[in-house]
Amino acid sequence: MNRQIGPQALESQRKEIRDRLESERDRIYKEILNYPRPIPGCDQQFNHLLEERERISRELDRLDALSGTEG
């Protein structure tokens, strides 16, 4: 069975994905902001937060590129 998804359903799914990614990005930003100082360069947990923030930003950029929108 080959079911087609309509444009409204696709846009709804895109928005839901974007909302989840933005929510996770905001959570990570807050965690980075409140991270105890000073932060040594070898702090693996902090570095992981930075990597996750970058990964989510890339995913948001990809989502925008696929849909031809920005935000």
CA distances from 61 to 54, 64, 71 (A): 11, 5, 9
pTM: 0.76
Q: How far is CA 5 from its chain centroid? A: 24
- For residue 71, the model assigns a pLDDT of 55
Mean pLDDT score across all residues of the chain: 89
Do 71 and 57 touch, CB atoms closer than 8 A? no
Spans of all domains in the chain: 42-71
Q: What pLDDT does residue 70 have?
A: 58
How far is it, in rounded angstroms, from Cα 69 to Cα 71?
6
**Any idea which residue has 């590129």 for tokens?**
65
Alpha helices in the chain, H assignment, sequence order: 7-33, 44-67
